[in-house]
Amino acid sequence: MNGKILIIGANGQLGSVLTTALQNRYGLENVIASDLRKQEHNHGIFEIIDATDYDRIQHVVTQYNITQIYHLAAILSAKGEVNPLQTWDINTKTLLNVLEISRLNHIEKVFYPSSIAVFGAAALKHNTPNDSYLNPSTVYGISKVDGENWVQYYFLKYGLDVRSIRYPGVIGYQTLPGGGTTDYAVDIYHKAVLKEPFVCFLKEDTTLPMIYMDDVIRATMELMEAPSEKIKIRTSYNIAGLSFSPKDVALEISKILPNFIIAYKPDFREDIAKNWPKSIDDSHAQIDWGWQPNYNLEAITKSMISALNDYYKKAV
């Protein structure tokens, strides 16, 4: 890659890990991380950007001669329901700012993350196809359907090379997610390693599509590096990792930590989850740009427990 990458939302669950991966691949000096505030873990070039501020994004794009943008800032499904209008405003305004700035500045490539939250009650629950009818039940999901259509519009109308993936629930030890319905699948490992009981906000048998962070980062980079003619879907690609329920993870954890205790206290997030797919058909991603996940539940559990053990030992 020639040029410079701007990451908007670099301190989020995905952004923190993706920033490091992009820095390692393209060089520290070629990746500009940005978010609402600087954090201790930020290394390399960092700029404060509130993505609702068009002029601020434009300023940074000009300052660094940016050629690619990863727009990761968004309010997720559960948090989004607390203030739906604000969520709509932030999620859609920031995307339109990025698309318009990208068009006017001849940005070469843009990445836009979508989510399994685009699916609603009308979609098939098993092996949900890429081109399902989309009637999401959350404002986050509605904003992602809207976003997918906007990115396709900018591609068709202006030739802007925007690429997108519908992420399942992301599991990683590096960062804590915030405000999602799938977040339990990260929190559960923290509690298990800390030897604390875990109270799950979903029912024990609520199965959802999930994916390990290493697979997410690889998928994102593979999609962004694929030749343009291979990208046949310009709304967003389904990708699958694996599917499991809270009971499945608890069982896998107890193979390593036999004293692990879980209780179930479903709340409003169960209502969100029950409208989402149980598993995803990602055949288009497989055929078009060769997508294949690597991690199953056993591998994820071993990796999470070992990494979090190290983390909490160091933290003591």
Q: Which residue in the list 64, 70, 140, 184 is annotated as catalytic?
A: 140
Count of C-beta atoms within a 10 Å radius of residue 141: 24
Burial class (CB in 10 A: 0-12, 13-18, 19+), 197: exposed
33 with 64: CB under 8 angstroms? Answer: no
Q: Which is nearer to ligand AKB, 167 or 289 (CB)?
A: 167
Q: Which is nearer to ligand AKB, 88 or 158 (CB)?
A: 88
Nearest distance from C-beta of residue 272 to ligand AKB, angstroms: 8
Q: Which is nearer to ligand AKB, 33 or 272 (CB)?
A: 272
Nearest distance from C-beta of residue 196 to ligand AKB, angstroms: 22
124 with 178: CB under 8 angstroms? Answer: no
Nearest to 260 by CA among 191, 306, 183, 312: 191
Which residue number places its CB atom closest to ligand AKB?
180
Nearest distance from C-beta of residue 82 to ligand AKB, angstroms: 13
Nearest to 308 by CA among 184, 195, 218, 178: 195
- Which residue reads 């990458």 in tokens? 5
Whether residue 140 lies in the annotated active site: yes
Residues lying near ligand AKB in the complex (CB under 6 A) are found at 76-77, 115-117, 140, 167, 169, 180-182
Nearest distance from C-beta of residue 76 to ligand AKB, angstroms: 4
Q: Which is nearer to ligand AKB, 107 or 211 (CB)?
A: 211
Nearest to 112 by CA among 223, 2, 252: 223
Tell me which residues are annotated as active site.
140
